[in-house]
Amino acid sequence: MFSSPIFNQFVEQSPLSVLNQGLISRVLSPEVLDEWFDNTVEEQYTRDLLFSCVFEIMTDVVRGSKPSVYAAYTAIEDKIGVSATSVYNKLNGIECNTSAELVRYSANSVAPIIEKLGGKAENPLPGYNVKIIDGNCIKASEHRIKELRDITGGALPGKSLVIYDPVLRMPVDVIPCEDGHAQERSLFNELAKRAKPMEVWLMDRNFCTRKLLFSIAKSEGSFIVRQHGQFPFHEIEEETNIGTVETGSVFEQLIETCDENGKMLVLRRIRVHLKKETRDGDKNIYILTNLPQQAADGTSIAKLYRSRWRIETAFQELEKYYNSEINTLGYPKAALFGFCVALVSYILVAVAKAALSCIHGADKIENETSGYYIAHELSQTYPGMMIALPYSEWTIFHKFSNDEMVMALKLLAGKVHLRKYKKNPRGKKKPKTKQKHSPKNAHVSTAKLISKRKKS
């Protein structure tokens, strides 16, 4: 498939890096990205600096190949021929809608490939499309912007709502917001527009508002949401015990609530009486849903709600494995673009995992393979690989059909030695011992302490 001897050497030594870059060349090549940007953008124009160059710079920073935007810029300065100021101006002006569309475009482009690889997880609710919704707040940035230099408080450059598909095992949509201080509820109007029939949203209690739930129901969508403590309702019937789940006993009853116009909405209210209290001290968890009984019984609803941890795990992996929150980017549009590029990187790794699962087994990839080691190899191998194999070497992937792309991914996945990426789970953390502080011994000799231990 690859005629170049150097290419074949990378295929043998780091097939995962070739697989990832092949995906980028297939889905996010400069030509494709620039054409996509021209069709998507509302206000910005390219003129001297192409969007694909900005994407390349941000991708290098997000996956750790370069330590900063400026370092990534200097690496390709001769190629792009513009000043660093032009790059930062471009980043600071990228519209939030453009960043969000990039995530949606990437997810839609790779979804058919994942399906052909057989990389989908089992649908937790057959007949419905399950989506998990959660908010993400970008951590405070450095005070580099003029308006922030005299402020001691944390500068929040933005937040977002992320929509995660547990079947594809990746984020598929995002709703960004430049106001880092805004409540998640300010984004609910935009979120409600995405509700569809035969789609079920899993949400935590911050999303439990009458306006959002009525909007979802009006769109013939469905939801499973933890009940907020101030949610108004009245009981239609007494609750009954319907069984048990791993975490406790399950009870169910019908309730109803009304909107500001007096329109009523009948819901099922499921209570899980927990064997062990939550970290917030809750002994009971209340879940509301408008799903019909024939779609899922109460115990299935309780189990399904627990699968919300998948999006929380995704956020943790974004933080650990990718530079998803670049705190030097104080301007909201630039910070949100960086976060969305991190989501795109996560999507590409989801395809790589689907290819690995196809060859090595889903259980082994899901439970025994470290995402950290995968991300580390991709970031470390990429710079040298792109010097040895310039852009022209990757054009072979541009012409692949989905079927041909799947064949190439399987070939590369078959050459991956999983032992290089094996998880090393640590045992239980030992409780910390209280440290003794003595003003007379501000410093100690490590060598003397070790010597003393060896003698005892």
Q: Is residue 340 part of a domain?
A: yes
Task: Scan for tokens 């099922």, then name that residue.
Answer: 268
Candidate ranges 61-70, 225-234, 371-380; pick with highest mean pLDDT? 225-234
Q: Are strands 284-289 and 264-274 parallel, antiparallel or unpaired?
A: antiparallel
| 101 token code pair | 């569309």
At 17, the pLDDT band (50, 70, 90 cuts) reads very high
Q: Could you give the dihedral angle defined by the CA atoms of residues 319, 133, 193 and 44, in that order, rounded to the nearest 10 degrees?
A: 0
What's the number of CA atoms in the CB half-sphere (13 Å) around residue 408?
25
Domain count of the chain? 2
What whole-number distance in Å separates Cα of residue 123 and Cα of residue 337? Answer: 31
What whole-number distance in Å separates Cα of residue 136 and Cα of residue 148? Answer: 22
Average pLDDT, the chain: 87
- Of 282, 309, 336, the domain-final residue: 309
At 429, the pLDDT band (50, 70, 90 cuts) reads low
What whole-number distance in Å separates Cα of residue 245 and Cα of residue 285? Answer: 13
- Of 263, 287, 309, the domain-final residue: 309
Q: Is residue 250 part of a domain?
A: yes
9 with 54, same domain: the answer is yes
CB within 8 A of 308, min separation 6: which ones? Answer: 132, 134, 202, 203, 204
What whole-number distance in Å separates Cα of residue 91 and Cα of residue 331? Answer: 9
Better pLDDT: 248 or 157: 248
340 with 229, same domain: the answer is no
What's the confidence (pLDDT) of residue 174? 95
Burial 98-123 (b: 16+ CB within 10 A, else e): bbbbbbbbbbebbbebbebbebbeee
146 with 269, same domain: the answer is yes
At 386, the pLDDT band (50, 70, 90 cuts) reads confident
195 with 236, same domain: the answer is yes
Q: Could you give the dihedral angle defined by the CA atoms of residues 146, 151, 154 and 158, in that order, rounded to the nearest 10 degrees?
A: -40
What whole-number distance in Å separates Cα of residue 309 and Cα of residue 323? Answer: 21
Residue 189 structural domain: 122-309
231 with 291, same domain: the answer is yes
145 with 279, same domain: the answer is yes
Q: Are strands 199-203 and 222-226 parallel, antiparallel or unpaired?
A: parallel
327 with 305, same domain: the answer is no
Q: Is residue 135 part of a domain?
A: yes
Q: Is residue 103 part of a domain?
A: no
Q: Is residue 445 part of a domain?
A: no
What's the confidence (pLDDT) of residue 261? 86
Classified as helix, coil or strand, 338 is helix
Q: Is residue 111 part of a domain?
A: no
126 with 10, same domain: the answer is no
Q: Is residue 90 part of a domain?
A: yes
154 with 262, same domain: the answer is yes
Is residue 255 over pLDDT 90?
Answer: yes
Is residue 297 over pLDDT 60?
Answer: yes
What whole-number distance in Å separates Cα of residue 60 and Cα of residue 123? Answer: 34
Q: Is residue 175 part of a domain?
A: yes
Is residue 151 over pLDDT 80?
Answer: no
Average of pLDDT values for 430-444?
69
Better pLDDT: 251 or 425: 251
Cα distances from 34 to residues 31, 44, 76, 131, 338, in angstroms, run 5, 12, 17, 30, 18
- 3-class SS shares of the chain: helix, strand, coil, % to 5: 50, 15, 35
What's the confidence (pLDDT) of residue 370? 87
Q: Could you give the dihedral angle defined by the CA atoms of residues 380, 383, 385 and 389, in that order, rounded to the nearest 10 degrees?
A: 170
- Of 309, 338, 365, the domain-final residue: 309
177 with 149, same domain: the answer is yes
What's the confidence (pLDDT) of residue 440? 67
What's the confidence (pLDDT) of residue 435? 66
Better pLDDT: 355 or 453: 355
Q: What is the pLDDT of residues 61-76, one digit of tens each?
A: 888 888 888 898 998 8
21 with 81, same domain: the answer is yes
For residue 131, the domain's CATH number is 3.90.350.10
The least confident of 27-31, 390-394, 410-414 is: 390-394
Candidate ranges 42-51, 287-296, 319-328, 372-381; pick with highest mean pLDDT? 287-296
349 with 333, same domain: the answer is yes
248 Rama sector, left if φ>0, alpha if ψ -120 to 50, beta otherwise:
left
What whole-number distance in Å separates Cα of residue 303 and Cα of residue 411? Answer: 37
